Amino acid sequence: MNALVHVDPELCIGCGICVRNCPKSAVGAMHITEEKKASATEECVGCLVCVKSCPKQAITPLDETPADALICQSCPIHCRIRPGQTGACRRFRNDGKELKREVPLHVIPRPHIRLDPRTRLPDRPLLTGIGAGTNLQKQAARFVAEEELDGVDIVTCVTEAALSFSGLRVKIDTSDYIGAEGSAVRREGKIVGYITSSWYGSRTATIGGVTLLKGPDGFVVARTVTDLAEGETVPLQVEGGAKLELTRGKAPVINGQTAELTTFGCGSSVGKLFSARLLPILDECIMLDMGITGQMSEHHAALGAKPCGITVIGKRSSGGRYLVPSGKGWGGTCVEDPRDAIAAIDKSVAWPGMRILITETKAEHAAYFELDENLELVEKPMPPAVEAEFVRMKEFCDPGLVNVLYVGGVGGGVMSILHPHDSPGVLDAIREGRILVTSCGRPVHRMPGGNLIIEVDTAGLPKGSFSWVPTPCTTMPVEFTMTRETYMEVCGYPDAPRPLSRILAENAYVYMDTEERRS
């Protein structure tokens, strides 16, 4: 027997959806033949992603298990994994005898852990969930490690939580326009997220979430969440907006152009930093920005600026501050021709020879004008002194980066690794500060209010930290650290803790440097 699914060639239209969604297509588990038909190979582990995603119901499961296959018990998919193969999540490999995690355990070096004498809790777990693997509900965590730290007995419980309530917050450091807030974000034509609020020189998007994960395109969503969290380059299309290529920790590519820089402030604040230097060499500077556009002559009279009779387009917020509509132009505004930044010139105030610089907050574009004898704008070469200040503005700009924060809703199913039937008691202990919750060894932001919803920065994490499971959901390494006293009081598996040294002696592991992420 080869594949664990059957493809009906009469029904298959060769659309390739099954191949794109197959978690093992990279090793040929599913491919399109020369006859333009889907075909599965012995790399298939029976995860049934192809069955669930085929628009023509051309693929059916085969209820067979190869004699040499091991059935994975780490999630409800129960992949049938032959020797040398990994399952659909690509985390566990059949070594011929048992299923072993592909990524080793990641352990925090002891010198990097500091104990708080007040709470008696460390600021890092004894080991991380990376490489731990997932366990089904109502079982103790896969690894429950115990070690004494500065006279205090500490316990850390780790797992790779499989979370349906999961997704990303993606911060894209650019003032460039990528699309209207609320616009859908698509991958392969499928909605995987939405554009959300804009901040200082940054656009944001959410990817995933339970509604999209459980929707008709959940496999594409799960792939996208994992790819971004793992640092893969992901092509996306904003509905009615830009074509994006996003890679964690790298500059965003927007409509084929790499956005290397972003501003560190709005047009008003950036202009304020430069006004004292610009006033001796300019009469007016309009600093275009997606948020607040600044006008030097109005905003900085205290520094010696005098009225120039220039009216900036957009809505006046306060003196020298204008709300210019967003768009594909300079500074993320609607201004694509710098002349259009000026709504009117009061010729009773303006004067011939008046010097005007129009630029934007990331110092990518600039134009220099002077008024002629008719008080009309005439573009001229930028004087050396002005050009020097324009070049200097770039030094104030921050690099454009893609920042990926994983968000997971950790429910009772996950917390049952601490207690089989009292997740409310576990959650109370977390809220009381008696249990430290971390992810990948890093402090998490725990959202206030009900339930346990946590967020972690994925920057610099090792490959294999995140994955997706064909339920569909994604996996997040999670650690729960507490004193042994709290563990015995709150948790329901009193015999589970084992010395950390014994766990490390029995499992492959690497030390993980967390010092550079310490806040």
Q: What is the model's pLDDT at position 515?
A: 57
Q: pLDDT-based confidence at 190, cuts 50/70/90?
A: very high
Residue among 160, 223, 215 at smallest CA distance from 19: 223
- Take residue 347 and report the two structure tokens written for it: 């010729």
Name the pairing type of β-strands 284-288 and 355-360. Answer: parallel
Residue 315 scores a pLDDT above 60: yes
Q: What is the pLDDT of residues 18-39, one digit of tens each?
A: 999 999 998 999 999 999 999 9
N- to C-terminal Cα distance for the chain? 54
Tell me whether domains 5-101 and 166-260 share a fold: no
Which of the listed CATH numbers 1.20.1260.10, 3.30.750.24, 3.30.70.20, 3.40.50.300 matches domain 5-101? 3.30.70.20
**AA identity, residue 29:** A
Topology of 166-260 in CATH? Elongation Factor Tu (Ef-tu); domain 3 (2.40.30)
- The pTM (predicted TM-score) of the whole model is 0.92
- The answer to whether the CB of 48 falls within 8 A of the CB of 470 is yes
Q: What is the pLDDT of residues 72-130, one digit of tens each?
A: 988 889 999 999 999 999 999 999 999 999 999 999 999 999 999 999 999 999 999 99
Q: How far apart are CA 263 and CA 169, in angstroms?
A: 20
Q: pLDDT-based confidence at 137, cuts 50/70/90?
A: low
Residue among 410, 25, 42, 33 at smallest CA distance from 223: 25
- The answer to whether the CB of 191 falls within 8 A of the CB of 184 is yes
Domain parsing of the chain, residue ranges? 5-101, 105-164+411-517, 166-260, 267-399
Q: How far apart are CA 286 and CA 136, in angstroms?
A: 60
- Take residue 184 and report the two structure tokens written for it: 């859908």
Q: pLDDT-based confidence at 270, cuts 50/70/90?
A: confident
- The answer to whether the CB of 198 falls within 8 A of the CB of 176 is no
Residue 1 scores a pLDDT above 50: no
Q: How far apart are CA 372 and CA 355, in angstroms?
A: 10
- In whole angstroms, how far apart are CA 26 and each of 19, 30, 314, 500? 9, 9, 51, 36
Q: What is the pLDDT of residues 274-311, one digit of tens each?
A: 888 999 999 999 999 999 999 999 887 777 788 999 99
**Residues, the chain:** 519
> 3-class DSSP state for residue 505?
helix
Q: What is the model's pLDDT at position 518?
A: 47
CB 256: neighbour CB atoms within 10 A?
Answer: 8
Q: What is the pLDDT of residues 435-487, one digit of tens each?
A: 999 999 999 999 999 899 999 999 999 999 999 999 999 999 999 999 999 99
What is the overall mean pLDDT for the chain?
A: 93
Name the pairing type of β-strands 310-312 and 293-295. Answer: unpaired
Q: What is the 3-state secondary structure (H, E, C) of 195-218?
A: EEEEECCEEEEEEECHHHHCCCCH
Q: What percent of the chain has pLDDT over 90?
A: 85
